[in-house]
Amino acid sequence: MDIPQIVRKVNTKPVNTVLIYSVVSLLGLNYLLYSFFDLGSVRNLVRVAAVGLMMILLLFRLTEGNIRRRQVLMLLLAAWQILAGGTNGLNIAFLLILTAAAAGYQECRITTVVFWVMIGLTLIMLGSLLLGIEVNEVYTVGTRTRHKLGFVNVNAASMFLFTTLASYLIWRDKQAKLVELGAAMGLELLIFVYTDSRTPLLALVLMIALYLLIPRLPAKAVNICCSVGIALLFLTSYLWVLPAVNSPLVNTLLSLRPMYCDEYFRSQNALTFLLGGTGVPELDNGYLLLLFNVGVAVYTAIYFAIQSAVKNMANRSEYMKLSFVIAMLAVSVLEGAALRPELLCAPLMWVIVLEALPGAGKESLLLAWSTDWLASRLRKDRQ
């Protein structure tokens, strides 16, 4: 029995389900290990294990002849990010590999997987606080009193809990009732009172507001508003150099984010703008991180892909997913959360976007020929 036959024999629904749950669990657990238990030394080890399982998933997809051309492009971009190096480059590479591997599994939806994994991780977090394994440290900044809830910083805590609430609402989708939306909002308000972290609160408010508002608007109005809104969000990458944005008042309101973004923007050069690959550390702005890690051409392609996916979600009445993606895009102005693979709202968002994209469209003829040839060879071997 040759290797392709062995892979096809192992490639069953239960094995796929175990693999997807294992990958997502490892990534989510890794987030707790380095941001809650402060065990950063094991971060890379857990990542290697997760990537190994992702490769098995991709091998299964390959033997099925079920690798789309856009997934091949994503894997090529992931390879470039790994070669370019840097923390953010590796984060983007892991996200690309996971998204390419996990998208499209009908028997094991990523929305369901992320929800149940987040429930388990939240129970671990709460149990550790109750048992005294981790301590809820409290500190004061000016007039702000903030609770870390055991995490290394309050933003890590609040984004983690936002992911739990958002994944629940996406899991419930069209079955979500007003009482559930109200309960989620109440819990997010409680988290805000403890952490004084504003971004996740704004994200959940926006997500729920859009979910309630969009079905009541004409389809054309929804498409126009979403298109304009996403365009404005992507253009924020270039606004931080403006004096009106990088002003003392705005810096005070946004915890010095405009100043740091302006410094980051000015530290780049024409090469990182065109091709990406910057080695500059993390920043609380997903758009600048994405632009200078993948380059302006890929950045623009991602913009058009998101526009297409959002339009498709609106046409299919997938309002909860659409609202979540818009909320994550809005959060990315103030956080780099959408590019952190262990923070499970990030892979959840990108898999939703990939699955919402329409048909293959105009793709590279070379990629079309090579992937079709490979798929035909695998089908021939199977016969």
Query: What pLDDT is recorded for position 109?
Result: 81
Q: Is 67 helix (H, G, I), strand (E, B) or coil?
A: coil
- The two three-digit tokens of residue 200, written as one number: 């996740």
Sequence-ordered list of residues with C-beta below 8 angstroms from that of 8, at least 6 positions apart, any chain: 63, 382
Dihedral sign for Cα atoms in the order 112, 198, 157, 49: positive
Query: What pLDDT is recorded for position 370?
Result: 40
Domain that holds residue 240: 3-382
For the chain, the domain total comes to 1
Name beta bridge partners: 144.
141
- The two three-digit tokens of residue 317, written as one number: 């009445």
Taking Cα atoms as reference points, which of 226, 222, 231 lies closest to residue 299?
231
**How confident is the chain (383 residues) per 10-residue block, as mean pLDDT?**
70 86 95 93 90 88 74 86 79 89 70 94 96 92 87 93 96 92 96 92 96 93 93 84 84 87 89 85 87 92 94 94 96 91 94 82 38 47 49
